[in-house]
Structure 1
Amino acid sequence: MSTYLRMRAVPAPALRNSATWLERQFEDDVKAVRHSCGRHREEVLDERYLDQERIYAGALPHGAGGEPRAQVVLGGRPVCRTGRAGPRLLVLTAAQARRVAGFLSAADFDALWDFARGELLPRYGGVSAEPETWGAFAAAHRELRAFYARTAESGDAVVKWLPV
């Protein structure tokens, strides 16, 4: 079984502090969600999501009131399950999602990459594989930027399904 991270935009007024409700948000597959909603409602990152997070860890703080770099991939308020194992569930409010969208729209991916490349390249084939590695992480960055931009435009919150 491959490890991946799913992030879904949900209308802020509908957001519930219930693990059961949050789990239900991930019952449909990604293609069905994108087809039925007609807008970008879910983003899925493959097993490199921890390394994608590393790229944002080197960003400068976004100013007072929070550090969106810590919210992009793995951030959010945990919603605990009582007595059950399973993926972790995290929630970003609509305001937090807007801050992350602002951070990503202003972020210079090349500068973020320069900070993380020394740590990441050895895991992905070294310097000779840098063009392909850079391309994969840059594409994920663009997808995250698009997801958060559309989420912010819609005034939605974000729910994350994080493998344990």
Structure 2
Amino acid sequence: MSLYFHLRAVPPSALRNSANWLQRLFEDDWDTVRRRIDRHREEMLDHHYVDHDTLYAGAPPHRTKEGPGGHVILGGRPVPHHDPEEPPFLLLTAAQVAQVAVFLISADIEALWRGVRDDLLPRYGGPQTEQETHALFTATHRDLTAFYTQTAEYGDAVVKCLLR
């Protein structure tokens, strides 16, 4: 079974603090979502989403749980899923999204990579795969920066969900 971490931009006026509404937000096709919330922006991360969180929030013992770096991937206010076996949805306010966008725009991806490369490379095949692994993290950083920047420009919130 493949796991994906799905981030979706939502105008604050359309956002509902309901697990059922949030579930539908991720079950509906893109066109339905676009009609319901008036626009559509999203980002999907594969099962390596925790590694991307490590890149931004830092590896232990220097992990940042709060603040922009900690909010990029796994941060946000949890909203319990209606199925207790499922992880909660995570919500970032428009203000938090703006802080994350500023963080990502100003982040030095090379410095972030150097700080976690020794922790991450073994999971991707070791030092011989560094060029490809680094390129993957750089491309994802570029995509996340674009997603959060555009979302902040619209003044939108972000809802996150782990999908199987």
The reply to whether TM is greater than 0.5 is yes
Deviation at 1:29?
4.0
Give distance in 1, aligned partners of 2:162 and 2:4: 7
In 1, the alpha carbon distance for the partners of 2:143 and 2:33 equals 14
CA separation of 1:127 and 1:34: change in aligned 2, threshold 3 A = farther
Change (3 A) 1:38 1:146: farther
Unmatched segments (≥5 aa) in structure 2: none
Residue equivalent to 1:92: 92
- Measure the CA separation in 2 of the matches of 1:146 and 1:49: 17
Counterpart mapping for 1:4-153 below 5 A: 4-29=4-29, 32=31, 41-58=41-58, 67-82=67-82, 84-153=84-153
Instruction: Specify every segment of 5 or more residues in structure 1 that has no aligned partner in the other structure, as ranges.
Output: none
Distance 1:112 1:34, change over 3 A: farther
Amino acid at match of 1:111: A
Post-superposition Cα deviations, 1:94-142, rounded to whole Å, max 9, x if no partner, equal 0000100010000000000000000001111111110000001111111
Q: Percent identity?
A: 54
Q: Give the conservation status (yes or no) of the 8 Å contact 2:77–2:90.
A: yes
Residue 81 of structure 2 contacts residue 87 of structure 2 at CA under 8 Å; is this kept in 1? no
Cα distance between partner residues in 1 of 2:33 and 2:18: 24
* Cα drift, residue 34 of structure 1: 9.4
Give the distance between the partners of 1:124 and 1:152, measured in 2 at CA: 32
TM-score computed with the length of structure 1 as normaliser: 0.86
C-alpha RMSD of matched pairs (Å): 2.7
Contact 1:40-1:150 at 8 Å conserved across structures: no
Question: Could you tell me the TM-score, scaled by structure 2's length?
Answer: 0.86
Residue 162 of structure 1 corresponds to 162
